[in-house]
Structure 1
Amino acid sequence: MRWENLYVAGLGAYLPEQVYTAEQAVADGVYGAGECEANGYRAVRVAADHETGPVMAAAAGRQAVERSGLAADDFDLVVHASVGHQGQDVWTPAHYVQNEAVGGNGAALEVRQGSNSGLAAVEVAASWIAARQGGASRTESGGATAALVTTGDAFKLPYWDRWKADEQVVYGDGAGALVLSTRGGFAKVRSTASRADSSLEPLYRGEDAWTAAPFHDGKPVDLAARKRHWLTRHEGAYDEAIARINQNFGAVLQTALADADTDLAGTQWFVHANMSKTIVQWGFHGALGLDPETTVYDWGLDHAHMGGGDQIIGLNRLFETGRPKPGDLIVAAGAGIGFMWTVAVLEVLDSPQWV
C-alpha cells in the first residue's frame, strides 16, 4: 500500500532495569550451553512483578505521545499488540494502555498476531486514520489525525519459559510505541505491505490442538514441541515450510519496496526481529546481502526477542542513536505465526528534536 500524508510523529520504548545474561542462565541450569552458543543471545531484560506487558506499553506510549507533541484529542485510535499473557484474563489491555498513555475518546483495539503483532498493528492503524481523514471532526483541523500503536510483553514462568519455549528463540521483556499522524512527523511512511499463508497455521498449533482453557495443564508453553510434530509429519515437511516462508517474505518485501518507489539497494537501514544468530544470518543478512551495521541486531542480542515489539523498539533505538539522516530510507520487516508478514518503508525527513 502506497501512503500519502502519513507520518511517524513519535517513538518510545520501555525496557526493564533487571538484566539476566545468557551466561548466567547457563550457569543457573535454565539454558543449554549448546543453545547459547548457537543462538548468540547475550542477555534479556526481565520485568518486575508489576511490570506487565500493558504497564510497560503504557510507559512507552507516554514517551511516544510526549515526543509527538500531539494532544489526547488528536488520537482517534489506540492499537495494543502482544504475544503472551497480559496480566489478567478476560480483559481489554488496549483500554488500559489508552487510559494510561493518552486518554481521549478514540477507539482502542488489540492485535495478537505473534511476532508480527507490532507491524501488523501499524498497518491497521495506518488504514484506520487514512480512511477517516475526511470524516467527522475530532479536532479543529478536522478528521482523524493520529493513532498510537503499542507493544508489550513480559514472558514469565510458570506460563512461559523464556529460555526453553522455542529452540532457536529466547524471549526478553519490553515494550515499544509508535505514533502515526496525518499532520506531519520526522519520518514519512512511504508504504506498507502484508501477506499471509494460512497453510502454515498448524506449525504452531501442534498435535494436541484444542484445550479447554489457558494454561490448562500447568506446563509452560512449548512451541518447540508443536513445531517438531508438524515438521516431522513427512520427510519433506521442513523443506516445504522453509520454501513457503521464503517465497512469502520475498513477495511482501518486494511489494513494499515497489510501492515505495525503491529497491533494497536504495535503502539505508533495515530493522528486523531479534532472532537467533543462525536465523538472522541465513534469513536476513545472508539472503538479502545486508550489512549488519545497517541494522540494530547487535544491540538486539542484549535484549532478545521481545514478542511483537522488536521492530518498533528497534526503530526507537535506531533514531535514538542519531544515525538516520534526512533522505534515508528504512525498511522494517516482521513475520508472525499464522503465518503473516508485514513490511514498512519509511523515509527520514528530519532528526527528531528528542534525539
Structure 2
Amino acid sequence: MRWDNLYVAGVGAYLPEQVQTADEAVALGLYDAEESIGNGIRSVRVASDEEAPPVMAAAAGNQAVQRSGHAHADFGLVLHASIGHQGQEFWTPANYVQNETVGGSGTALEVKQGSNGGLAATELAAAHLTARPEHSAVLVTVADAFRPPYFDRWASDNQQVYGDGAGALVLSSRGGFARLLSTASYTDSSLEPIYRGVHGWTKAPFEQGTPVDLRSRKSDYLLQHEDAYEQTIHLMTKNAGLALQEALDDADTKLADAQFFVHANIAESIANFSFYTMLGVERARTTYDWGQTIGHVGGADQLIGINHLLESGRPKAGDRIVTMGVGVGFMWTVAVLEIVSTPSW
C-alpha cells in the first residue's frame, strides 16, 4: 500500500539496565554452548520485577510522544502489541499504556501478531489515520518480558534468544522526520500449526508448570512428513519476498538503493541466509551488530532498531529505510521510510 502524507513523528525505546551475557548463561547451564556460537546473540536485557511490559511500553511511548511534538489530544488511537504475559491476567494493557502516555478517550487496542506486532500495528495506524482525518496521530507501542518459570529466554525456542524491552512509534498525518512511503503485509495461515504444535489444547496458561516449549511444537510439525521442512522454508522465503517486493514497488524503491535495512534480532545463521545471502543486504546497512547485544525483543525489534539508527545520527535527509518483520501465524510486514530531516534529538 502506498501512503500519502503520513509521517513518523517520533520513536522511542526502553531497555532494562540489567544485562545477562550468553557466556554467563552457558556457564550457568542455561544455554547450550554450540547454540551460542551459531545464534550469535552476545547478551540480552533482563527486566526487573517492577519493569512489567506495559510499564516499559509507557516509558518508550512517552519518549516517542515527546519527540513527536504532538499534543495528547491529537491521538485518536493507541495500539499496543506483545507476545507474552503482560503483568496481569484478564486485563487490557493497551488502556494502561494509553492512560500513562496520551490519555483521552480515543480507541486503545491490543495487537497479537507475534514478532510482527510492531510493524503490523504500524500498518493499522496508517489505515486509521487515512480513514479518520480528524485524528492526526497514532501511538504504537510494543513490549515484552520473557520471564522464568513461564518462559525460558535461552531454551524455550531454537535459533532465538529473547531479551526484554519496549519500542514505540508515533505515526502522524501532520509531519515528522520521516515519510511512510509504503507498507505491505502477506499472511499464510497454512503455516499456523508450526507454533501451535500437534498435541491438542491447554486449559490455561502455564497449565503444566513447565516453561513454554516452542522447540517441540516446531519439531512435531516438521516431522509429520519428510518434505515438511523443505516446503516450509520454500513458503516462508516466497511469502517474505512477496511482501518485500510489494512494499518496494509501492515506494518506487529498489532494495539496493535503500541506505538501511532493519530486521529482527534473530539467530545469525538465519540472518546470514535470509537477508545477507538471499536478499544481498549488506550487514553494515543494518542494526544487527548492535541487536546482538539485546536479543530478540519480540515485535519491538524493528521499532527499537529504527530508534537506535536515528539516535546514532547515521540517516540523512533523502535516505530510505526498509524494515521487515515476520510473526507466527504467519504474517510478514514490510515498511519503507524516507528520511525528511535529521531530528534534533
**Is the structural similarity TM-score above 0.5?**
yes
Q: Aligned partner of 1:266: which letter?
A: D
Kept after mapping to 2: 8 A contact 1:73/1:105:
no
List runs of 5+ in structure 1 lacking aligned partners: 134-142
Kept after mapping to 2: 8 A contact 1:285/1:292:
yes
Q: Aligned partner of 2:9: which letter?
A: A
Q: Distance in 2 between matches of 1:199 and 1:207?
A: 14
Q: How does 1:323-334 map to 2 (within 5 A)?
A: 323-334=314-325
Shift of 1:286: 1.1
Shift of 1:102: 1.4
**Residue 207 of structure 2 is aligned to residue 216 of structure 1:** yes
Q: Aligned partner of 1:96: which letter?
A: Y
2:290 maps to which of 292, 299, 307: 299
Shift of 1:44: 0.2
Q: Aligned partner of 1:147: which letter?
A: V
SS at match of 1:192: strand
Q: Deviations over 1:321-340 (max 9, x none)?
A: 00001001100100010000
Which residue is 1:251 aligned to? Answer: 242
Stretch moving more, 203-212 or 167-176: 203-212
Q: Deviations over 1:19-72 (max 9, x none)?
A: 000000000111010110111110000000010111100000000000011111
Q: Distance in 2 between matches of 1:102 and 1:26?
A: 42
Q: Distance in 2 between matches of 1:35 and 1:102?
A: 42
**Residue 266 of structure 2 is aligned to residue 275 of structure 1:** yes
Which residue is 1:312 aligned to? Answer: 303
Q: Deviations over 1:68-116 (max 9, x none)?
A: 1111100000000001100011100000000011112211000010100
Q: How does 1:7-156 map to 2 (within 5 A)?
A: 7-133=7-133, 143-156=134-147
SS at match of 1:104: coil
Q: Aligned partner of 1:43: which letter?
A: S
Which residue is 2:4 aligned to? Answer: 4
Q: Aligned partner of 1:168: which letter?
A: Q
Shift of 1:182: 0.1
Which residue is 1:195 aligned to? Answer: 186
Shift of 1:169: 0.4
Q: Deviations over 1:157-209 (max 9, x none)?
A: 01100000111100000000000000000000000000000000000010223
Identity %: 62
Q: Distance in 2 between matches of 1:110 and 1:38?
A: 34
Q: Distance in 2 between matches of 1:89 and 1:233?
A: 34
SS at match of 1:334: strand
2:233 maps to which of 236, 242, 245: 242
Shift of 1:214: 1.1
SS at match of 2:310: helix
SS at match of 1:36: helix
Q: Deviations over 1:183-239 (max 9, x none)?
A: 000000000000000000000010223111111111111111100000011100000
Q: Aligned partner of 1:323: which letter?
A: R
Q: Aligned partner of 2:196: which letter?
A: R
Q: Distance in 1 between matches of 2:172 and 2:158?
A: 39
Q: Deviations over 1:249-276 (max 9, x none)?
A: 0000000000001111121100000000
Q: Aligned partner of 2:24: which letter?
A: Q
Q: Distance in 2 between matches of 1:286 and 1:102?
A: 42
Kept after mapping to 2: 8 A contact 1:83/1:115:
yes
Q: Distance in 2 between matches of 1:22 and 1:101?
A: 34
Q: Aligned partner of 2:30: which letter?
A: V
Q: Aligned partner of 1:288: which letter?
A: L
**Residue 194 of structure 2 is aligned to residue 181 of structure 1:** no
List runs of 5+ in structure 2 lacking aligned partners: none
Which residue is 1:136 aligned to? Answer: none
Shift of 1:15: 0.2
Q: Aligned partner of 1:20: which letter?
A: Q
Q: Aligned partner of 2:265: which letter?
A: N
Kept after mapping to 2: 8 A contact 1:191/1:346:
yes
SS at match of 1:37: helix
| Alignment RMSD | 0.6
Shift of 1:129: 1.3
Which residue is 1:338 aligned to? Answer: 329
Kept after mapping to 2: 8 A contact 1:117/1:336:
yes
Q: Distance in 1 between matches of 2:21 and 2:116?
A: 25
Q: Distance in 2 between matches of 1:113 and 1:197?
A: 13
SS at match of 2:20: strand
SS at match of 1:344: strand
2:340 maps to which of 332, 345, 349: 349
Q: Aligned partner of 1:202: which letter?
A: P
